[in-house]
Structure formats: structure tokens, C-alpha cells
Structure 1
Amino acid sequence: MTGLASVTKLTGETVGQEFLIFTLGDEEYGVDILKVQEIRGYDQVTRIANTPSFIKGVTNLRGVIVPIVDLRIKFAKQDVEYDDNTVVIVLNLGQRVVGIVVDGVSDVLSLTTDQIRPAPEFAVTLSTEYLTGLGSLGERMLILVDIEKLLSSEEMALVDSVLKV
């Protein structure tokens, strides 16, 4: 017996995963902490023509051109404002570095597999394929996002093609 199974057997606890918790409006979301490169304050970005509105533009991060996606706009949140609490979470997604704009970051939480439930199925008009599940921690309900599925869409391919020109 090796790895997670042995830890589970020895401790009697179900091993889980750590998530960086961020807010969009009144909702709390979580992303796999292992994907997070850094957290920065929001700075102005360079706009790119003919990109969807949720792609705010690009920024130069130590010589790397990083596309910046505003998740508040992508998730159709109302009253998107940029203030001192607005941050960019820089994510390392294998071959791509991407920044996501969120209202704020609250903490890092470790959730056991028992605390994570599958994402609910909705009508065919609402896609939940980018949701890992829902995390429960006491009274808190966390929406767990598979950020790679969310950001591997056709829109991100468009940004990649513009950046290569």
C-alpha cells in the first residue's frame, strides 16, 4: 500500500485536496491550489481587438505575455467594478499561463473527498462541465472549478492565435 491509500488507512481520514478560495460577488469558488502561480493586485492591461468581452487583454509578467480573463464577466456577474480588493490569480496550466480577475481571495482550504459532492445536473442550456463539484465546509458552500476545462475553450484558442501573430 502506497501514497494516498496508506495515508487514509493510517489516519482514518479521507484524503482530499487543497483549494484557493476566491469570491465573485456573494459566491465563493475554489481552484486547485497546485495550479496557482501567484496572486497579484489588478493592474491595467493591454486590450486585444476582436476578443470576447471577458478577455480583458494581456499583461507582461516578467517577460511572459499573460492573457487576463475576468471571471466576473465570463460568469455574467452584474456590476463588475475594479477596486483595491480586485485581484488577479495567475495560473500555470501546463503549456499556458493565464490570469483570472476575481473580486478577492479569502483563504486556502483543504477539503476531504467526503466534503466534495458532484456538480448538479442542470438543463441542457446550462453547462456544468467546468465544475469539479461543490465543497461543503460547515455552513459554507464552495463552487469548485476545473479551471483547465473552463479556460480551454474556443475563446482561449482565439487569444492564443492572436498572441502568436
Structure 2
Amino acid sequence: MDTEKHIIFRLKEQTFAVHVQQIVSIERALSLTEIPRTPGFMKGVTEMRGVMTPIIDLRERLNLGGVDITDQTRTLVVQVDEMQIGMVVDQATEVKDIPASFIKSAPKLVGEIKDTFLLGVATIDDELILLLDLEQIIQFTEKNQLQEIINDIDESGKTIES
């Protein structure tokens, strides 16, 4: 049976998954440098293993409100199109094998989440799991903006004041 490993995480009461190959690491709370004039879901940047990494609040990005930082809060560090990005989530719970046959295409809207952010949905043990499409989480214009910010920081060694 064709199965793929996914990291399972929670936002509010909903369960999400991303393919394990896209995950670089899972971190606890990180210290951030805030960046002016960026979208509200951009929380700032941090340096991770020598790489400037933008951090986004995934709850805010998906219009689910902001993350409440707790002991369970984690930052999933993912690779999206040559860029390392940290996504703050309520909780990262486990690695799970999801059989390809369990994955169905996403309905147009799941709760408040548009299908553009989803690769599909799977039901395992009576739990609906939303599979995120990371390429859609950070869209093209935002990617360019992030890349510019990272380049500015890398060149100057610090953030540019607004």
C-alpha cells in the first residue's frame, strides 16, 4: 500500500498535515526580529543554522485568529521553493503514515480555510486531516517580499529601519 509520512499538527481544534520531506525541523519558541511593513501574519525573522528564516503565524495566515503561545506551541521549519520558512502552530503532535488512497480532493471551503491552501483531506481514525499545500501558503508576491527582506538583512547584518 502506497503511504507517505506526514507531520501532524494542530491549529485551534483542527488537525493539519504536511509532507515530512518538506520539514527541516520542529522548534520551540524562537526569538524574532520584527520587520516593519509586512503582512500581519509575518511575525518576523530569525537566524537558524546560518539561514535567515521568516516566521509566519499559520493561524493568522489561514484566517483562524492568532496563535496563543503555550508550552505546546511549535515552529515547523519548512522548505518552500528554495526558501526556509518557519510556521508557528499550536502543537505538533506526531508523524503519521497517510495512505495515498485515503487522500481526497479538498472541498471548496473547510471551515474558514479556502481549498487553495489545501492539497487534499484524509480521514484517519474518524479524524479529518487537512493536508496543506505549502507552496500556496506563501504566495508569489509574498515570496518576493520575503526574499528582499532576507537579502537586506544578509547584506547589512541587521534589519533596515522603516
- In structure 1, how many angstroms separate the alpha carbons of the residues matched to 2:66 and 2:22? 28
Gaps of 5+ in 2: 153-162
Q: Is the 8 A contact 2:61 2:137 kept in 1?
A: no
1:98–1:79 distance in 2 versus 1, CA, 3 Å:
closer
Deviates more, 1:20-29 or 1:78-87: 78-87
Deviates more, 1:146-155 or 1:84-93: 146-155
Q: What do residues 112-135 of structure 1 show as CA deviations (whole Å, max 9, x unaligned)? A: 12211101135xxx7422211001
* 2:107 equivalent among 116, 120, 127: 120
- In structure 2, how many angstroms separate the alpha carbons of the residues matched to 1:100 and 1:79? 12
* Shift of residue 138, structure 1, vs aligned partner: 1.9
TM-score normalised to structure 2 length:
0.85
Is 1:62 the equivalent of 2:54?
no
Identity among equivalent pairs (%)? 27
* Shift of residue 94, structure 1, vs aligned partner: 4.1
* Shift of residue 49, structure 1, vs aligned partner: 0.7
Tell me the equivalent position of 2:155: none
* Shift of residue 79, structure 1, vs aligned partner: 5.5
Question: Which segments of structure 1 move beyond 4 Å, counting only runs of 4 or more?
Answer: none
Secondary structure of 1:45 counterpart: coil
Rg bigger for which structure?
Answer: 1
Deviates more, 1:71-80 or 1:41-50: 71-80
1:63–1:106 distance in 2 versus 1, CA, 3 Å:
same
- In structure 2, how many angstroms separate the alpha carbons of the residues matched to 1:151 and 1:38? 18
Q: What do residues 55-105 of structure 1 show as CA deviations (whole Å, max 9, x unaligned)? A: 100001121110001101111223531111111011122411111000011
1:79–1:57 distance in 2 versus 1, CA, 3 Å:
closer
Matches within 5 A, 1:33-72: 33-72=20-59
TM-score normalised to structure 1 length:
0.84
Gaps of 5+ in 1: 1-12
Is 1:90 the equivalent of 2:59?
no
Is 1:142 the equivalent of 2:125?
no
* 2:117 equivalent among 124, 130, 146: 130
Aligned length: 150
1:50–1:79 distance in 2 versus 1, CA, 3 Å:
closer
1:22–1:70 distance in 2 versus 1, CA, 3 Å:
same
- In structure 2, how many angstroms separate the alpha carbons of the residues matched to 1:94 and 1:49? 24
* Shift of residue 25, structure 1, vs aligned partner: 0.5
Matches within 5 A, 1:11-26: 13=1, 15-26=2-13
Secondary structure of 1:159 counterpart: helix
